[in-house]
């Protein structure tokens, strides 16, 4: 393709090609501190392309392609090209990842131990991970946590943090020196702005950690906390994994080991201050 | 009159892990995961070596596990579910 960039996020290498310069320029800027894939060979390819030749120029709209695709996915306008690239990378991970058990969860590390936070879209796992990063935790990722079937360790995937709607202003005020991508308004998920993970997150992005606590946060309720037993954690995390079934017994063994070894809690929170207090208290008590 | 004789999948075909009060089963031939509670693990265990019909199985479970209120209809329903899942078969 005319424009391309190769980069590595955590243990996974990507090559992103595009018919347009702008999304690649944005990726090169925001991922400038990330390494290239090992030996220059990407694990996954993403292609941003025009469905018809003239769509490169007239009301340009970006189709997302790659090694793994969703048929009939709707294109995005070129102003959302960065979002398309991120969606393309997420798609490769969700559909193609076989090396690790992939959990839809954010992950942060303190003292070498990992906290996993899994929840439905809007539960606040990206925002909480970003806020914990601002408090000195090492960010492993806001979207995917990768569990190694052999060791049970968590590997990070610290892509750009995807902030949505109110979280954008919150993180702008929390991290005024942070590096932010362009504001993309009225995307399918509302307003989106990406935040570059801090230097600590990028420098240690290939360093795994032993999982020590699993949280299932829910936003919009009075502060509350309850234990989640092994069976419930197992069911919730099978639902949060895109490749549990595909990995066969390796996925089963990895997930049963995780929920038996790592305590899990569900937390409700009405605002981020309450959430951070709950997280810090639970971490002190259990991890 | 004796009904159909049931036999469980051999233990080597099922990976079983206790998760609190629930048991997670990974059925290797189908690559499917099942979450089951009592009396399913006991049924699969009872039908490992010896094929039994539902009445014999009910008696066995009552004797072995001291099930006071064992219900033939419930047991028949469990056996039908397990057969549909491929975890037991008619011998």
Taking only the tens place, the pLDDT of each residue in A169-228 is: 999 999 999 999 999 999 988 999 999 999 999 999 999 999 999 999 999 889 999 999
Strand intervals (E) in chain B: 6-8, 14-19, 22-27, 32-36, 88-90
For residue A66, name the pLDDT band (cuts at 50, 70, 90): very high
Q: A–B: how many Cβ contacts below 8 A?
A: 36
CA of residue A281 relative to chain centroid, distance? 24
At B69 the pLDDT is 65
**Are A252 and B15 in contact (CB < 8 Å)?**
yes
Digit-coded pLDDT (tens) for A108-126: 999 999 999 999 877 789 9
- Compute the radius of gyration of chain B from its Cα atoms: 13
Q: Is the pLDDT of residue A55 over 90?
A: no
Percentage of residues of chain A with pLDDT beyond 70: 100
Q: Is the pLDDT of residue A92 over 80?
A: yes
At A73 the pLDDT is 82
* Domain range for B55: 6-10+37-90
A218 and chain B in contact, CB less than 8 A: no
- Written as six digits, the tokens of A106 are 């954010």
For residue B68, name the pLDDT band (cuts at 50, 70, 90): low
Q: Is the pLDDT of residue A74 over 90?
A: no
At B1 the pLDDT is 59
A248 and chain B in contact, CB less than 8 A: yes
If you average pLDDT over residues A138-157, what whole number do you get?
98
Are A272 and A124 contacting, i.e. CB atoms less than 8 angstroms apart? Answer: yes
**Residues 150-189, chain A: which have Cβ within 8 Å of B?**
none
Among A149, A227, A230, A243, which would you mutate to test the B interface (most chain B Cβ atoms within 10 Å of its Cβ)?
Answer: A230
At A54 the pLDDT is 77
Does residue B68 lie within any of the structural domains?
A: yes
Q: Where are the domains of chain A?
A: 3-96, 101-286
Give the C-alpha separation, A243 to A55, whole Å: 34
Give the C-alpha separation, A50 to A87, whole Å: 16
Nearest CA to A103 among A167, A139, A156? A156
- Written as six digits, the tokens of A271 are 């605002």
Q: What is the number of domains present in chain B?
A: 1
For residue A127, name the pLDDT band (cuts at 50, 70, 90): very high
Cα distances (Å, whole numbers) of residue B85 to A15, A191, B7: 42, 45, 13
**Are A256 and B28 in contact (CB < 8 Å)?**
no
Q: Is the pLDDT of residue A37 over 90?
A: yes
* Mean of all residue pLDDT scores within chain A: 95
**Are B31 and A248 in contact (CB < 8 Å)?**
yes
CA closest to B15 among chain A residues: A249
Percentage of residues of chain B with pLDDT beyond 90: 78
Give the C-alpha separation, A2 to A5, whole Å: 11
Among B21, B24, B35, B40, which would you mutate to test the A interface (most chain A Cβ atoms within 10 Å of its Cβ)?
Answer: B24
**Are A260 and B24 in contact (CB < 8 Å)?**
no
At A171 the pLDDT is 96
A264 DSSP β-pair partners: A214, A228
Cα distances (Å, whole numbers) of residue B30 to A48, A114, A143, A235, B27: 37, 33, 30, 19, 6
Question: Among A223-232, B1-10, B63-72, where is mean pLDDT lowest?
Answer: B63-72
For residue A51, name the pLDDT band (cuts at 50, 70, 90): confident
Give the C-alpha separation, A46 to A179, whole Å: 24
Interface of B with A (CB under 8 A): 15, 17, 19-22, 24, 26, 28, 31, 33, 35
Give the C-alpha separation, A98 to A254, whole Å: 13
């Amino acid at each position: 393709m005319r424009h391309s960039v190769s980069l590595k996020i955590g243990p996974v290498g990507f090559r992103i090609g595009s018919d347009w310069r702008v999304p690649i320029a944005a990726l090169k800027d925001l991922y400038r501190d990330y390494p290239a894939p090992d030996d220059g060979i990407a694990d996954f390819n993403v292609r941003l392309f025009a469905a018809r030749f003239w769509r490169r120029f007239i009301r340009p709209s970006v189709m997302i392609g790659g090694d793994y695709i969703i048929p009939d996915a709707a294109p995005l306008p070129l102003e959302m090209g960065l979002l398309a690239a991120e969606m393309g990378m997420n798609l490769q991970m969700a559909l193609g990842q076989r090396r690790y058990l992939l959990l839809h969860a954010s992950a942060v590390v303190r003292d070498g131990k990992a906290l996993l936070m899994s929840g439905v879209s809007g539960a606040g796992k990206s925002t909480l991970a970003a806020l914990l990063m601002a408090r000195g935790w090492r960010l492993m990722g806001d979207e995917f946590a990768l569990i190694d079937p052999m060791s049970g360790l968590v590997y990070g995937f610290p892509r750009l943090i995807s902030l949505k709607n109110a979280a954008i202003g919150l993180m702008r005020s929390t991290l005024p020196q942070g590096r932010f991508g362009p504001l993309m308004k009225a995307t399918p998920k509302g307003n989106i702005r990406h935040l570059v993970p801090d230097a600590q997150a990028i420098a240690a992005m290939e360093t795994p950690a032993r999982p020590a606590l699993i949280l299932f946060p829910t936003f919009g309720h009075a502060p509350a906390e309850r234990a989640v037993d092994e069976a419930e954690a197992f069911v919730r995390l099978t639902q949060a994994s895109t490749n549990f079934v595909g990995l066969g017994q390796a996925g089963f063994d990895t997930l049963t080991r995780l929920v038996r070894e790592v305590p899990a809690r569900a937390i409700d929170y009405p605002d981020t201050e309450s959430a951070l207090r709950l997280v810090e208290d639970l971490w002190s008590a259990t991890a | 009159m004796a009904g159909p004789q049931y036999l469980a999948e051999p233990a080597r075909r099922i990976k079983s892990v206790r998760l609190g009060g629930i048991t997670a089963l990974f059925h290797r031939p189908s690559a499917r995961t099942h979450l089951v509670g009592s009396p399913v693990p006991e049924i699969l265990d009872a039908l490992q070596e010896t094929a039994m019909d539902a009445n014999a199985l009910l008696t066995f479970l009552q004797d072995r596990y001291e099930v006071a209120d064992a219900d033939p209809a419930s047991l028949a329903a469990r056996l039908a579910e397990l057969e549909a899942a491929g975890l037991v078969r008619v011998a």
